[in-house]
Each structure stands twice: as C-alpha cells, then as structure tokens.
Amino acid sequence: MIIRILAFAFSSINRISIKIQILISRGLPTYTIVGLVGTTITEFHERF
C-alpha cells in the first residue's frame, strides 16, 4: 500500500511544500531518505 502526504513548512515568510511517500509492505522495517538532505540527516540515518 502506498500512502502519499502533502505537508508544508515555513522558513521565515516563505512556505515550502514537502511531499512524503510511504510504502507499507511485509518484511524487515527500514526506511530510505531520497532527495537533497543535509549532512545532519545523513548522520542521523547512519546512527539510527
């Protein structure tokens, strides 16, 4: 099952749209971050 979510974030007075897509299936739990992510997110992903 694929679930799509449209969210918004605010950076000062600018609005940024965020598209989130989730695939729920059987198997081992895992997650993948796709897109332009900073080094902080990459380090978090490796530690988690």
pLDDT value of position 39: 67
Q: Quick count: other Cβ atoms within 10 Å of Cβ 17?
A: 8
Q: Are 21 and 33 in contact (CB under 8 A)?
A: no
In which domain, by residue range, is 13 found? 2-47
In sign, the C-alpha dihedral spanning 24, 29, 7, 35 is: negative
41 CB contacts (<8 Å, ≥6 apart)? 33
pLDDT value of position 16: 87
In order along its 48 residues, the chain shows pLDDT tens digits of 888 989 888 888 889 888 888 888 888 777 777 666 666 666 665 655
CA dist 14 and 22 (Å) reads 26
pLDDT value of position 47: 59
Total domains present in the chain: 1
